Amino acid sequence: MDGIGSPDERTDAVRALESEFGELIARFRKVIHASAQRLSPGMLPVAYKTFTTIVRHGPLTPSALAEALTADKGQVSRTVRELESLGLVERRPDPGDGRSSLISATPEGIARLEDARSRDGGGLAATLADWHVDDIRTLARLLHALTSGEAPGR
């Protein structure tokens, strides 16, 4: 069947994947919590995720940030205010829309994130230390295909 497998094989494979994702989510929650604490003691994981989304995709409007996080705009606004008070992000007027703003990471925020990530002794980098770089790239490619709803290229 060209690697597609029988319906029973696919069902078993999907169930195994669901189980592994459950374990991965539990582990990832711990990693995110620890990362948030390294960045700023007392920081909640949602603030860490918001900040890293801004770093990765910014500058963003508040609406685009809420959409990227699939979160409530009010919650995102409160979290951004918290990140501003910590000196991690800043808002500037949106040159394309004077009624809106653009949120971006500050140089201090980026430096603090790099420092927090460099002190990540038990995180993802440590877990993957013995993996071949091609395997890491393959996993990233497959996860991207899964999250974007695309079939993976070979």
Q: Does residue 27 lie within any of the structural domains?
A: yes
| Predicted pLDDT of residue 69 | 96
Per-residue pLDDT reduced to its tens digit, 25-34 = 998 898 889 8
Q: How far is it, in rounded angstroms, from Cα 134 to Cα 112?
A: 29
Q: Does residue 2 lie within any of the structural domains?
A: no
Say if residue 135 is in the same domain as residue 98. no
Q: Which domain holds residue 105?
A: 7-119
Q: Count structural domains, the chain.
A: 2
Say if residue 73 is in the same domain as residue 148. no
Judge contact between 90 and 84, C-beta under 8 A. Answer: yes
Residues of the chain with pLDDT under 70: 1-3, 121-122, 154
Say if residue 99 is in the same domain as residue 136. no
